[in-house]
Amino acid sequence: MAPRTFALALILCVALAAALRLPQLSLRPMHGDEAVHAVKCWELYATGRYAYDPVEFHGPTLYYATLPILRLSAARDFASTTATTYRLAPAVAGVGLVLLAWLLADGVGRSAALWAGLLTAVSPALVYYSRYYIQETLLVFFAALAIGCGWRYGLSRRAGWAIATGAALGLMHATKETAIIAWGCMAAGLAAAWFPLRSRAQACPARLRDGGLALGAAVLTSVLLFSAMFSNARGPLDSLRAYGVYVSRAGGGGAAGDHTHPWDAYLRWFGYWQSGRGPVFSEAGVLLLALVGIAAAARGVEPDPRRRALARFLAVYGCLMPVVYSALPYKTPWSFIGAWHGLILLAGLGAARLTARAADIAGARAGRDRLSRAGLARAVPGGAALVACALVAWNLAVQAQRASTRFAADPRNPYVYAHPLHGVERMLAWIERLAAVSPEGRDTTIQVIGENPWPLPWYLRGFARVGYWDDSPERLDAPIIIACNAGEHLGVRLGDAYQASHYGLRPDAILTVYCERSLYERFARAAATAASEPATRVVDEP
């Protein structure tokens, strides 16, 4: 493939990725995790202060990546920000992930890099979680950046690429604690790539210097972010202490037990999923192409030893990541997308290998050569492989669009995990209608009762007087009371003084909104007046 053709095709893949990731970012209700991160990010933006918590919330790169968007949005306060404001940062990272295939093009071949870029662009999982305000997409982006820059350094031995590799590794650490899993798999891949070349390896001073530069860049980048630009000395130390917490969590301990799943959960979520009469979601085509890529890497068909080494690295990295994540009891679908991208890189190798003979179609000559039996024997398998791979990509794109739009908050979507329903948006609309007729307006007092109120703090951010309780407080007298999975005792306690309405928060959680009877009657009178106004205007018309 000519360089210009590759560049144009990769740009088209980037455009496709943008078309799937950027539109309608506010379509889906905010997940509880997204709401938490939005609050943390706004605190950083509004106060300029950040303190890393080794128990929750992960690293700060997501928040710092969002700051330019917040500045451009000219948001006056937290209430004036939108879901799009926050989700734009990971969406852009998801688009950029496609572009990073360029870094590996002369290592895996332009065709393989292009296929990897296309599959990255249309993968339903990668598309869906690129539209999610959590750390995973940034972590995958920085991991791919580290691999790409590491390959560029291996080719050129330029110190700049070593520094870029180290900075990317540092950004991984400052994004999420699970970066250590990717580092371990990268180290194993490097060992597999280096071992056959060990007789040629030389620990020359320049390489030792570049290794030191990479390490320094990684440490400096991580410390800079965890310390909030050197304003919090505890941050870098807490980032190391956090691993005690996350080792326990990865084993399913504590509250993480809610996310304990069997070893094959990722295979079911990503390989084949159908819930009830819902649509089939399957990225099995990526798995099949990845198997071909693994076989090609194992055979070592590349004549250049450095390209063979890169293929071995990708094979080991791409195989180990799914194994490690599947072995951990703690599982969420978004945790796996880093491993999935490793498999997509291998799938790019596999697709390129399968379609290598497709060039015979374009190269067929008119006349006897075109109709010769040998020419057809070469062209037909290659053409069939090309069509099959294209159909895989097309099917994934259709699924990605479906998962991110119509089924964006539907429990039948495997990527919808512990996710709020649209009922939370209807609840907000009801509360806003009540506030519109309340004498206090948006200063109306709201009491929220429930152990885990998220994402309600996001949806109620426009109200000035909101309080949260794990259990029913002694004093319950707010005009509006919201309870999650409220028992009968709360309704009995409030009696006829409140009007109740119900909204789905999640499939296993119901929100009950209790509206003070006097406020409800005020709303009913206002609604009746509004309903009668059109008829009055018709009668009064001359």
Is 209 within 8 Å of 322 (Cβ atoms)?
A: no
Q: What gap in Å lies between CA 419 and CA 132, rounded to an integer?
A: 11
Reported as a single tens digit per residue, the pLDDT across 83-109 is 999 999 999 999 999 999 999 999 999
441 exposed, middle or buried (CB, 10 Å; 0-12, 13-18, 19+)? Answer: exposed
Neighbouring CB atoms inside 10 A of 345's CB total 27
Q: What gap in Å lies between CA 479 and CA 467, rounded to an integer?
A: 12
DSSP assignment of 167-205: HHHHHHHTT-TTHHHHHHHHHHHHHHHHGGGTTT----H
Range with the largest mean pLDDT of 190-204, 295-309, 341-355: 341-355
Neighbouring CB atoms inside 10 A of 209's CB total 12
User: Residue 246's pLDDT is what?
Assistant: 78
- Percent of the chain residues past pLDDT 90, beyond the cut: 75
Reported as a single tens digit per residue, the pLDDT across 107-116 is 999 999 999 9
Radius of gyration of the chain (CA): 27
Spell out a b/e string for 270-281, using b for 16 or more CB atoms within 10 Å of the CB, else e: beebeeeeebeb
Is 29 within 8 Å of 425 (Cβ atoms)?
A: yes
Spell out a b/e string for 238-247, using b for 16 or more CB atoms within 10 Å of the CB, else e: bbeebeebbe
Average pLDDT of span 452-474: 92
Q: Which amino acid would we find at residue 540?
A: D
User: Residue 303's pLDDT is what?
Assistant: 76
Average pLDDT of span 354-365: 62
DSSP assignment of 445-470: -EEEE-S--TTHHHHTTT-S-EEEES
Q: Where are the domains of the chain?
A: 28-250+266-404, 423-527
Is the pLDDT assigned to residue 241 strictly greater than 60?
yes
Is the pLDDT assigned to residue 250 strictly greater than 80?
no
Q: What gap in Å lies between CA 379 and CA 384, rounded to an integer?
A: 9
**Residue 305 pLDDT grade (very low, low, confident, very high; cuts 50, 70, 90):** confident
**Residue 384 pLDDT grade (very low, low, confident, very high; cuts 50, 70, 90):** confident
- Looking at the DSSP bridge assignments, the partners of residue 171 are none
Q: What gap in Å lies between CA 144 and CA 160, rounded to an integer?
A: 17
Average confidence score pLDDT of the chain: 90
Is the pLDDT assigned to residue 254 strictly greater than 80?
no
User: Residue 200's pLDDT is what?
Assistant: 58
- Which is nearest to 80 in space by CA: 93, 89, 70? 70
Helices (H), 357-515: 359-363, 368-371, 373-404, 423-437, 456-459, 488-494
DSSP assignment of 308-341: HHHHHHHHHHHHHHHHHHHHSSB--GGGGHHHHH
Distance of CA 318 to the CA centre of its chain: 19
- Which is nearest to 106 in space by CA: 146, 143, 154, 144? 154
Reported as a single tens digit per residue, the pLDDT across 38-81 is 999 999 999 999 999 998 889 999 999 999 999 999 899 999 99
Is the pLDDT assigned to residue 153 strictly greater than 60?
yes
Is the pLDDT assigned to residue 157 strictly greater than 60?
yes
